[in-house]
């Protein structure tokens, strides 16, 4: 009888590990990946929609000068040197429309360098 109980405990432990692993993989797969190209004086894309509560990774690539992306309400601050790509991962906690701006002076059109992030349910 003890042998059967030990086998049952092994099976239960194994199933728990499998279920937890599958849940972790689903969480990784659900990350929203957005590639953003920064150039004087725009972001591409400049209009992004992501979901509240789901991690988002922004990859910022800069080709012509140093650029950054700051979105105060989402706690996003990422900077990329000319010719490089940087990433930031965050989880939006509020629904709304938020404006991002270049936080690194990049020339005379710097003030018009914006993008919009929509966070939906």
pLDDT digits (tens, 9 = 90+) for 71-81: 999 999 999 99
pLDDT of residue 20: 61
Please report, for residues 1, 57, 74, the alpha-carbon distance to residue 44 in angstroms, rounded to integers and kept in the order given. 66, 15, 19
Task: Tell how far CA 80 is from the center of its chain.
Answer: 15
Instruction: List pLDDT tens digits, range 18-36.
Output: 556 555 544 445 899 999 9
Residue bearing the bigger pLDDT, 105 or 117: 117
Q: Label residue 68 exposed, middle or buried (CB < 10 Å: 0-12, 13-18, 19+).
A: buried
Under a CB-based contact definition with an 8 Å cutoff, are residues 46 and 116 in contact?
yes
pTM of the prediction?
A: 0.73
Over residues 51-80, the mean pLDDT reads: 95
- HSE, CB side, 13 Å, CA atoms: give it for residue 86: 14
How many helices (H) does the chain have, and how many strands (E)? 1, 9
The CATH number of 31-120 is which of 2.60.40.420, 3.90.400.10, 3.30.470.20, 3.30.70.20?
A: 2.60.40.420
d(CA 110, CA 105): 6
């Amino acid at each position: 009888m003890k042998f059967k109980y030990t086998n049952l405990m092994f099976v239960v432990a194994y199933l728990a590990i499998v279920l937890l692993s599958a849940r972790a993989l689903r969480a990784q797969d659900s990350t929203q990946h957005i590639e953003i190209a920064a150039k004087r004086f725009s972001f591409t894309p400049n209009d992004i929609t992501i979901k509240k509560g789901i991690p988002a990774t922004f990859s910022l690539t800069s080709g012509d000068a140093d650029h950054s992306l700051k979105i105060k309400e989402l706690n996003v601050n990422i900077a990329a040197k000319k010719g490089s790509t940087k990433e930031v991962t965050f989880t939006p906690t509020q629904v709304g429309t938020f404006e991002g701006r270049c936080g690194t002076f990049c020339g005379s059109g710097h003030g018009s360098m914006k993008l919009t992030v929509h966070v939906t349910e």
